[in-house]
Amino acid sequence: MASIKDLKKDIDLLMSLVLNDCFYVLEYNQKVNQDAVMNIATEVVEKHRDFRKRANHPDGKDNPKLVKKYYKELNTELLATADKELEKLSAEVKKVS
């Protein structure tokens, strides 16, 4: 298992990449619904905070197997959330193109 420090860095990197894409779309695509894109960006920031909190406070600290399972599920959810938010952003861009 990777360290918690690396997991936090992965959370920061992945969520910042999604957020950068949101701001890129806002900057370079004037036709896109700005409110919808800002809502996506807001969700990304909220999810980022949630993932960081969850990374700091795992369930079942006494049982290493539970902790490993917890972090594995957290990592899977992180990737799924980033993918879902990028899909929403892509859908917004496709509406105007």
Residue 1: predicted pLDDT: 53
The rounded distance, in Å, linking the Cα atoms of 19 and 41 is: 6
45-81 tens-digit pLDDT = 999 999 999 999 988 788 889 999 999 999 999 999 9
Q: Where are the domains of the chain?
A: 4-96
Question: Does residue 70 sit in helix, strand or coil?
Answer: helix
**Inter-residue contact 51 to 7 (CB < 8 Å):** no
Closest CA to 4 of 68, 49, 66: 68
* Average confidence (pLDDT) over 28-42: 96
Residue 23: predicted pLDDT: 97
How sure is the predictor about 97, in pLDDT bands with cuts at 50, 70 and 90? confident
Question: Percentage of the chain surpassing pLDDT 70?
Answer: 98
The rounded distance, in Å, linking the Cα atoms of 96 and 93 is: 6
